[in-house]
């Protein structure tokens, strides 16, 4: 990014309503408001005891989760380090690493009521490549949630609203009773991200 473009980006970022709100409320990022909106609409956190947050850094979703007194365990995974949050168990791993799946399965087999994934692969701007990268993230998230979700558990997974969204929704429909696509107001309008809310993990 050129110097001018960078300074325009910072100006727009600092003027962003949700950036200002997250600074005021001490959230690590504006992403907190996406989870808050997801919860307002779907009430999946308040009905859970154990939650796994994949791609959790810098940790604003973990902060939101920590404010729910009904949660017994909150587990976060990211390939980047995070500042530790009280009451959160963190694992620094890439989600494609099979030893993560092994470790989590041994520790938490079928324990989670809710799995979250806010992972976005690096965006290239080439729609086909970006969709394929999202497909590979989806496959890894599904491998993990298939092992770790309890029957009737739920999954919220970030995706691109592109040509392969339907295909991915169809794939998720195999494992879940109900699928809904949701775009929070706090998600930037010019971003094609959406969240697929998958309810009722089936015993396939
Ligand atoms: C949009 S951020 C998540 C923000 C987070 N929900 C929050 O509220 O702070 C996406 C995260 O996914 C992580 N990520 C991307 N690919 C990953 C992978 N293959 N394995 C683990 N983490 C990954 C990135 O390191 C990044 O921290």
List of domains in the chain: 28-201 (3.40.50.150)
Query: What predicted TM-score, i.e. pTM, was given to this entire model?
Result: 0.93
Measured between alpha carbons, how far is 36 from 39 in angstroms, rounded to an integer? 5
Residue 37 confidence (pLDDT) above 80: yes
Please, which pLDDT band fits residue 163 given cuts at 50, 70 and 90? confident
How far does the centroid of ligand 1 lie from the alpha carbon of residue 76, in Å?
A: 10
What is the pLDDT, as a whole number, of residue 10? 63
Residue with the larger pLDDT of the pair 109 and 52: 52
What is the pLDDT, as a whole number, of residue 133? 87
How far does the centroid of ligand 1 lie from the alpha carbon of residue 192, in Å?
A: 17
**Residue of 31, 33, 56 best suited for mutating to test ligand 1, as the one with most atoms within 8 Å of CB:** 56
The percent of residues above 70 in pLDDT, for the chain, comes to 93
């Amino acid at each position: 990014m050129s110097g001018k473009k960078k300074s325009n980006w910072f100006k727009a970022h600092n003027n962003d309503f949700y950036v200002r709100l997250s600074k005021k409320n001490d959230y690590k990022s504006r992403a907190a408001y996406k989870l808050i909106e997801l919860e307002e609409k779907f009430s999946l956190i308040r009905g859970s005891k154990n939650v796994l947050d994949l791609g959790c850094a810098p940790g604003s979703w973990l902060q939101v989760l920590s404010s729910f007194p009904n949660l017994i365990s909150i587990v976060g995974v990211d390939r980047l380090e995070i500042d530790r949050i009280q009451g959160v168990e963190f694992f620094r791993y890439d989600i494609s690493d099979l030893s993560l799946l092994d470790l989590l399965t041994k520790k938490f087999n079928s324990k989670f009521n809710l799995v979250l994934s806010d992972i976005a692969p690096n965006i290239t701007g080439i729609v086909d490549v970006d969709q394929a990268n999202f497909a590979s993230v989806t496959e890894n998230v599904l491998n993990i949630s298939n092992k770790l979700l309890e029957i009737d558990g739920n999954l919220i997974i970030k995706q691109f609203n592109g040509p392969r969204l339907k295909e991915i929704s169809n794939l998720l429909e195999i494992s879940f009773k109900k699928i809904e696509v949701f775009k929070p107001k706090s998600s930037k309008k010019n971003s094609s991200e959406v969240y697929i809310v998958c309810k009722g993990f089936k015993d396939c």
